[in-house]
């Protein structure tokens, strides 16, 4: 067996770019789901009747939809009831 040769180090011609700074994340999205009125908490979106309380229906312009089970209620039908 032969003698091992040391690997040559790579010479950098210019400095490395600094990584971009991360923006702080806004972790208060829960504020969009609840509102405080007269000292009581009010839910701003309807809850899913299949999944139960705690699972909100997403607002999609013309309908409310559950992201968990797929339950959908159209707003025109909900407004007429």
Global pTM value: 0.55
| Residue-level length of the chain | 81
Per-residue CA distances from 71 to 33, 41, 51, 52, 60 (Å): 19, 25, 9, 12, 13
Question: Taking the domains of the chain in order of start, what are their residue ranges?
Answer: 47-81
- Residue 71, exposed/middle/buried by CB under 10 A (0-12, 13-18, 19+)? middle
pLDDT digits (tens, 9 = 90+) for 15-70: 888 999 988 877 677 788 889 999 999 999 999 999 998 899 999 989 999 999 99
pLDDT reading at 7 higher than 70:
yes
pLDDT reading at 78 higher than 70:
no
User: Cα 80 vs. chain centroid, distance in angstroms?
Assistant: 32
For residue 77, the model assigns a pLDDT of 62
């Amino acid at each position: 067996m032969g003698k091992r040769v040391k690997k040559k180090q790579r010479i950098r011609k210019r400095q490395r770019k600094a990584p971009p700074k991360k923006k702080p994340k806004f972790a208060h999205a829960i504020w969009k789901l609840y509102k405080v009125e007269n000292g009581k908490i009010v839910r701003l979106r309807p809850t899913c009747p299949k999944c139960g309380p705690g699972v909100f229906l997403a607002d999609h312009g013309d309908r409310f939809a559950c992201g968990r089970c797929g339950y959908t209620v159209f707003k025109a039908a909900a407004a007429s009831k």
